[in-house]
């Protein structure tokens, strides 16, 4: 098995530590928009990164292939590519293949090859597994068994573009101005130990779940051991990987809604639980009793996204920043308010959410545009 840790976690630290800038923008009415604003916003927080990682997740960009798994795969060699393509042909019906368009950018040196594949699962191969579980297994297989390949993203009608560089440089390199989506998240990275490997940049993806993350999770050791019990292999030793797997386990496998997941990852204090009405008390107590090992302790802000939903969450004592802005049906999440105001000066509302309380934007519950916007006020 290939140790991704060797590439991503050069010094074999317990985990990769990094600090970052985050940005997320979603039109909850489902309207598509270009990434131009998102790129300007994340570029405005340039100083929060150090040029060793930038990336974007875009949802809704492949409407013509919406029902197929879209794999974005990075290759360091043509042999790696040949190997993976043979593997994909065995396991999937390959509907369409192309190289991801790029344009030479002075700041980006030594880029890997990046290709995309639209795939349909060969159901006769799944042996009763769910399609999603099958895909997850194949992604892990490529990542850990093929030397020069790494899967950036593997969800439907979504993609991750990422690499070594500042996020605005990555955006330019991947021609992100040519795509539109209804949900974008972005990340600028300040890692303290990676030698600069494209796969190590955020967003981190599994299926259509993406996570961008700012923080250091002190409970990493037990979070990882807990997830290992459920068959997740934390090969990259990044905090972000743990968040992504935790979300996958809780939301996809255990079928828990986001409010509940937030109460697991950033639970209320016992003292608060004791004061709750009995129904909530019972839920929160049970969650902490059962999922105590998934409490994410230490400073973090994450923006989690999947098809139709974007979630912002901080640790329960809010040791990393997160600002929320709303304009019409558009929800903004950002490390800094200035980045939101740069691209949307006349927000309807803006606020700093309470630690541990999720902010959720969803296509199912679109934001209702405010009748009268009060400049700079909270609009309520």
Partner 1 sequence: MKTYLPSRFIIERDPSRCIQCKVCVNQCTFDVHYYDAEDDEVRSHEENCVGCHRCVIFCPTNALTVRRNPLDYRENYNWRPEVIEDIIKQSETGGVLLTGMGNDKGYPIYWDHLLLNASQVTNPSIDPLREPMELTTYLGQKPDRVEIEPSSLSLKTQLAPQVKLDTPIMFAAMSYGAVSINVHKSLARAAAGAGTLWNTGEGGLHPELYKYGNNTVAQVASGRFGVHPEYLDVARVIEIKIGQGAKPGIGGHLPGEKVSAEVSATRMIPEGTDALSPAPQHDIYSIEDLAQLVYALKEATNYTKPIAVKIAAVHNSAAIASGMVRAGADIIVLDGLRGGTGATPKIIRDNVGIPIELALASVDTRLRQEGIRNQASIVISGGIRNSGDVAKAIALGADAVYIGTAALVALGCTLCQQCHTGKCAWGICTSNPALTKRVNPDIGARRLTNLLRGWSLELKDILGGMGINAIESLRGNRLQLRGIGLTDTELEILGVKMAGS
Among 319, 321, 351, 353, binds partner 1 (CB under 8 A): 319
13: left (phi over 0), alpha (psi -120 to 50) or beta: beta
Which neighbouring-strand residues pair with 187? 22, 55
Pick the closer one to partner 1 by CB: 215 or 358: 215
Which neighbouring-strand residues pair with 94? 119
Among 4, 19, 160, 170, binds partner 1 (CB under 8 A): 19
**How many angstroms separate the CA atoms of 24 and 332, rounded?**
6
Among 97, 317, 354, 374, binds partner 1 (CB under 8 A): 317
Among 99, 271, 346, 371, binds partner 1 (CB under 8 A): 271
Query: Which position among 20, 234, 284, 344 bears the catalytic label?
Result: 20
Q: Could you tell me which stretch among 51-59, 80-88, 169-177, 265-273 binds partner 1 (CB under 8 A)?
A: 265-273
- Residue pair 135/121 in contact (Cβ under 8 Å)? The answer is yes
Strand 18-27 with 183-191, pairing: antiparallel
Residue 229 interacts with partner 1 (CB under 8 A): yes or no: yes
Q: Is 234 assigned a catalytic role?
A: no
Pick the closer one to partner 1 by CB: 216 or 309: 216
Q: How far is the CB of 225 from partner 1 (least distance, A)?
A: 6
Residue 256 interacts with partner 1 (CB under 8 A): yes or no: yes
Scan for tokens 């800038």, then name that residue: 21
Pick the closer one to partner 1 by CB: 97 or 317: 317
Residue 219 interacts with partner 1 (CB under 8 A): yes or no: yes
**Apex CA 179: angle with CA 173 and CA 184, to 5°?**
90
How many CB atoms sit inside 10 A of residue 290's CB? 10
Cα–Cα distances in Å, from 366 out to 2, 31, 250? 43, 11, 24
Q: Could you tell me which stretch among 21-29, 71-79, 155-163, 316-324 binds partner 1 (CB under 8 A)?
A: 316-324
Q: Collect all residues with Cβ–Cβ distance below 8 Å to 110 and sequence separation of at least 6.
A: none
Q: How far is the CB of 43 from partner 1 (least distance, A)?
A: 24
Quick one: tokens of 40? 């300007």
Cα–Cα distances in Å, from 120 out to 71, 123, 130? 11, 9, 13
# residues near partner 1 by CB under 8 A: 45
Q: How far is the CB of 356 from partner 1 (least distance, A)?
A: 11
- Residue pair 240/20 in contact (Cβ under 8 Å)? The answer is no
Measured over the CA atoms of residue 363, residue 320, residue 243 and residue 71, the dihedral's sign is positive
User: Per-residue DSSP letters for 294-332?
Assistant: G---SSEEEEEEETTEEEEEE-TT--S--EEEEETTEEE
Residue 221 interacts with partner 1 (CB under 8 A): yes or no: yes
> Which residues 162-201 are close enough to bind partner 1 by CB under 8 A?
192
Q: How far is the CB of 132 from partner 1 (least distance, A)?
A: 17
Among 291, 327, 331, 333, binds partner 1 (CB under 8 A): 291
Among 6, 90, 130, 286, binds partner 1 (CB under 8 A): 286
Q: Which residues have a catalytic role annotated?
A: 20
The site for partner 1 (CB under 8 A) is made up of 12, 14-15, 17, 19, 192, 215-216, 218-222, 225-226, 228-230, 254-257, 259-260, 269-271, 279, 282-283, 286-293, 295, 297-299, 316-317, 319
């Amino acid at each position: 098995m290939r140790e991704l840790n060797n590439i991503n976690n050069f010094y074999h630290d317990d985990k990769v530590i990094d600090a970052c800038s985050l940005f997320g923008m979603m039109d909850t009415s489902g309207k598509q928009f270009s990434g131009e604003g998102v790129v300007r916003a994340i570029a405005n927080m340039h100083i929060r990164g150090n040029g060793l990682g930038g990336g974007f997740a875009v949802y809704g960009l492949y409407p013509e292939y919406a029902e197929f798994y879209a794999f974005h795969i990075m290759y360091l060699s043509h042999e790696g590519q040949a190997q993976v393509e043979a593997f994909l042909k065995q396991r999937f019906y390959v509907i369409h293949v192309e190289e991801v368009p790029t344009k030479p950018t002075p700041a980006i040196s030594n880029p890997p090859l990046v290709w995309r594949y639209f795939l349909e699962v060969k159901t006769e191969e799944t042996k009763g597994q769910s399609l999603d579980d099958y895909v997850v297994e194949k992604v892990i297989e490529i990542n850990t068994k093929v030397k020069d390949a790494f899967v950036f993203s593997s969800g439907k009608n979504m993609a991750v573009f990422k690499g070594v560089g500042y996020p605005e440089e990555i955006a330019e390199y991947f021609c992100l101005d040519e795509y539109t989506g209804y949900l974008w998240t972005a990340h600028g990275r300040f890692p303290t130990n990676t030698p600069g490997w494209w796969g190590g940049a955020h967003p981190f993806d599994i299926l259509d779940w993406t996570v961008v993350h700012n923080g250091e999770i002190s409970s990493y050791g037990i979070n990882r051991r807990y997830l290992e019990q459920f068959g997740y292999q934390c090969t990259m030793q990044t905090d972000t990987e743990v968040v992504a797997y935790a979300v996958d386990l809780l939301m996809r496998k255990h079928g828990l809604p986001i409010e509940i997941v937030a109460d697991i990852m950033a639970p209320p204090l016992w003292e608060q639980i004791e004061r709750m009405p009995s129904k909530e008390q019972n839920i929160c107590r049970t969650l902490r009793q059962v999922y105590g090992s998934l409490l994410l302790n230490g400073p973090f802000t994450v923006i989690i996204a999947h098809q139709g939903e974007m979630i912002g969450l901080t640790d329960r004592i809010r040791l990393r920043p997160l600002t929320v802005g709303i304009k019409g049906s558009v929800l903004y999440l950002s490390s800094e308010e200035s980045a939101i105001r740069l691209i949307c000066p006349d927000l309807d509302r803006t606020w700093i959410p309470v630690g541990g309380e999720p902010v959720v934007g969803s296509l199912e519950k679109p934001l209702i545009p405010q009748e009268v916007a009060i400049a700079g006020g909270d609009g309520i």
